[in-house]
Amino acid sequence: MANFSSVQILFFVFITSGIAVSATVFTLENLCPYTVWPGILSGNSNTLGDGGFPLTPGASVQLTSPPRWSGRFWARTGCNFDSSGRGNCVTGDCGGVLKCIGGGVPPATLAEFTVGSGESGMDFYDVSLVDGYNVQMGIKPQGGSGDCKYAGCVSDINEICPSELRIMDPNNNGSVAACKSACAAFNSPEFCCTGAHSTPMTCSPTQYSAMFKNACPSAYSYAYDDATSTFTCSGASYLITFCPTTS
Q: What is the pLDDT of residue 171?
A: 85
Residue 80 lies in a domain: yes
Residue 37 lies in a domain: yes
Is the four-CA dihedral 225, 226, 227, 228 of positive or negative sign? positive
Residue 155 lies in a domain: yes
Residue 4 lies in a domain: no
Torsion of CA 231, 242, 176, 194, to 10 degrees: 30
Residue 8 lies in a domain: no
Q: What is the pLDDT of residue 172?
A: 81
Could you report the average pLDDT of every consecutive run of 10 residues in the chain (247 residues)? 36 38 89 97 86 97 93 97 96 96 95 86 94 97 93 96 95 90 94 92 91 94 85 96 85
Q: What is the pLDDT of residue 9?
A: 31
Inter-residue contact 104 to 92 (CB < 8 Å): yes
Which structural domain range is residue 90 located in? Answer: 13-242
Residue 39 lies in a domain: yes
Q: What is the pLDDT of residue 135?
A: 98
Q: CATH number, domain at 227?
A: 2.60.110.10
- Number of domains forming the structure of the chain: 1
Residue 247 lies in a domain: no
Residues in Cβ contact with 65 at an 8 Å cutoff, skipping those fewer than 6 apart: 23, 24, 25, 26, 46, 48, 71, 115
Residue 130 lies in a domain: yes
Q: Are strands 80-81 and 122-128 parallel, antiparallel or unpaired?
A: unpaired
